[in-house]
Amino acid sequence: METLRNALDFSDFPRFDLLIAGLVAVFMLVFPLFPHSAFAMATMIQFLMFSLYGMGWNTIGGYGGQVDLGKAQYVGIGAYTTAVLLIRWDIPFWFSMPLGMCFAVLWSFIIGYPLFRLKGHYFAIATIATSLVLMDLFQVWDFVGAARGLEISPIKYHPPDWWRLIFKEDIYYYYVILGFFLLGVFYMNWFRKSRLGYQLRSIKDNEDVARSLGINVHWAKIKTYAIATAFVSMVGSFHACYIKNIEPEDTMSLDISILIALMAMLGGAGSLWGPILGAAVLIPLKSYLKEWLGATAGLAGIDLLLYAIIIMAISAIEPRGIWGIVEKIRRRKRR
Partner 1 sequence: MDILASSLVAGLLIGMILALVALGLTIIFGVMDIVNFAHGEFLMIGMYTGLLTAQATGIDPLLTLPVAAAVGFLLGVICYYGFIKFLMRGPMVAQLLGTFGLMLFLRNLALLIFGSEDRAIHTGLLVGKSFDMGMSVIIPATKLAAAGLSVASFIGIWLLMNRTKIGKALTATALNAQGARYMGIPTERMNALAWGMGGASVTVAGALLVNFWSVNPFVGLLFTMIAFAIVALGGFGSVPGAFFAGLVVGMITEVPGIWDFFSYTFNSDWMLDVPMTSFKYTGVYLAYFIIMVLRPRGLFGWKH
Q: List the one residue from 311, 325, 326, 327 that touches partner 1 (CB under 8 A).
A: 311
Q: Burial of 97 by CB count in 10 Å (0-12 exposed, 13-18 middle, 19+ buried)?
A: buried
x/- string (CB under 8 A) for partner 1, residues 175-214?
A: ----------------------------------------
Residue 129 CB, nearest approach to partner 1 (Å): 4
Taking the complex as a whole, the smallest distance from the CB of residue 156 to partner 1 amounts, in Å, to 31
- Binders in 44-103 for partner 1, by CB under 8 A: 61, 65, 67, 69
Q: Enumerate residues 6+ apart whose C-beta is below 8 A from 158.
A: none
Binding positions for partner 1, 268-287, rule CB under 8 A = 269
Stretch that binds partner 1, among 26-34, 148-156, 225-233, 315-323 (CB under 8 A): 315-323
Q: Which of 106, 110, 309, 329 binds partner 1 (CB under 8 A)?
A: 309
**Which residues in 101-140 contact partner 1 (CB under 8 A)?**
114-115, 117-118, 120-122, 124-126, 128-130, 132-133, 136-137, 139-140
Residue 74: C-alpha distances to residues 22, 70, 79, 253, 265 (Å): 31, 8, 8, 11, 19
Strand partners, 298: none
User: What letter represents residue 269's amino acid?
Assistant: A
For partner 1, the binding residue among 110, 213, 305, 329 (CB under 8 A) is: 305
Q: How far apart are alpha carbons 234 and 98 in whole angstroms?
A: 7
> Which part of the chain contacts partner 1 (CB under 8 A), choosing from 18-26, 45-53, 219-227, 260-268?
260-268
Among 23, 110, 315, 330, which residue sits at the site for partner 1 (rule: CB under 8 A)? 315
Number of residues that this document lists for the chain: 335
Cβ within 8 Å of residue 147, ≥6 positions away: 139, 140, 247, 248, 249
Considering CB under 8 A, how many residues would be counted as binding partner 1?
45
Question: In the chain, what is the greatest distance between 2 CA atoms, to the nearest angstrom?
Answer: 64
Q: Any contact of residue 324 with partner 1 (CB under 8 A)? A: no
Output the DSSP codes for 153-214.
-GGGS-SSBTTTTB-SSHHHHHHHHHHHHHHHHHHHHHHHHSHHHHHHHHHHH-HHHHHHTT
Residues that bind partner 1 (CB under 8 A): 61, 65, 67, 69, 114-115, 117-118, 120-122, 124-126, 128-130, 132-133, 136-137, 139-140, 254, 258, 261-262, 265, 269, 299-302, 304-305, 307-312, 315-317, 319
